[in-house]
Amino acid sequence: MKKILLIAFLMLSVNVVYAKPSIEIEYNNGIYHIILSGNKIKKRINFVASDSLMTNKEVHKQTRSVLTINAGYFDPENGKTISYVVTDRNTSVDPILNENLLKNPILNKNLNKILNRTEFRVVECNNKYSYQIVPHKNSVDFGCNIITSAQGGPMILPELRLEEELFIVKDKDGNIIRESASVLQKTARTVMGIKDGDAHILIITNENPMDIYEVRDLCKQLGFERAMTFDGGSSTSLNYKNSIDVTSNDGSGRLLKSFMIITK
């Protein structure tokens, strides 16, 4: 009997030692690479939006989350969203309600492009959860539901959608005459990717700023099947438990609108 119990204990010990953690974090050359593995963690992810602007650290503390990052775009003039967010199956903020998008003649003219920017989704089909990175207007399969999502953009992989999502505008000669979200500049970035059914997050800090083409090359190098960005630059933020605190705004943290949280 003692021998059988010993064997069982050793088998359990081996399982514990080699069990893959649901959240893995690597740091290298100014970039945090976070891997969300397995099916259970998909149910712990939620995108949330704040009524008033808040820092990533404040949301991290208030929600008592394990991990919190910044998500969609917002209008700093009125604090309203420029990105769709779905929280617990319901749309929590809607950019069509941001009057500044309608007042600006360039934005109003290209509203369909803004409203169809890429989003990261957690989707449930027949009690099975999966990730998607698709344009906002892409429908889900019959019988499936979007549990939570946040819009950002541009899509990076399988192909860049800079013009399609109004991150750049070109004149008739092909010259870039307008740029949004500093996509052509070297800056901090918050990136979402999907590989082999797992979600990947890249927090590219000011120690290694990248333009969108460098981000695309990095995502290809890492083998991502699909990838997109959330808001970046001074919005780039990461809090993990009480051990990691990343801000890109002189350490104080920028006031933001929407967030991705992972609950305990």
In this prediction, residues 56-61 reach a mean pLDDT of: 97
In this prediction, residues 47-70 reach a mean pLDDT of: 97
In this prediction, residues 112-140 reach a mean pLDDT of: 97
**Is the pLDDT confidence value at 16 over 70?**
no
The pair of structure tokens assigned to 188 is 């901090």
pLDDT of residue 10: 43
The pair of structure tokens assigned to 31 is 């970039």
Considering only the C-alpha atoms of the chain, give the largest distance between any 2 of them, rounded to a whole number of Å: 82
pLDDT of residue 13: 47
In this prediction, residues 29-40 reach a mean pLDDT of: 97
Q: What is the pLDDT of residues 195-220, one digit of tens each?
A: 999 999 999 999 999 999 999 999 99
pLDDT of residue 18: 54
> Do the Cβ atoms of 260 and 212 come closer than 8 Å?
no
Report how far residue 82's alpha carbon sits from residue 101's, in angstroms, rounded to the nearest whole number: 8
Residue 19 pLDDT level (bands cut at 50, 70, 90): low
pLDDT of residue 251: 72
Look up the pTM and report it.
0.91
Cα dihedral 224, 228, 231, 233, rounded to 10, equals: 50
Domain residue ranges of the chain, discontinuous segments joined by +: 21-262
Q: What is the pLDDT of residues 157-169, one digit of tens each?
A: 999 999 999 999 9
Q: What is the pLDDT of residues 206-256, one digit of tens each?
A: 999 999 999 999 999 999 999 999 999 999 999 999 999 999 877 779 999
The pair of structure tokens assigned to 34 is 């976070």
| Mean pLDDT across the chain | 93
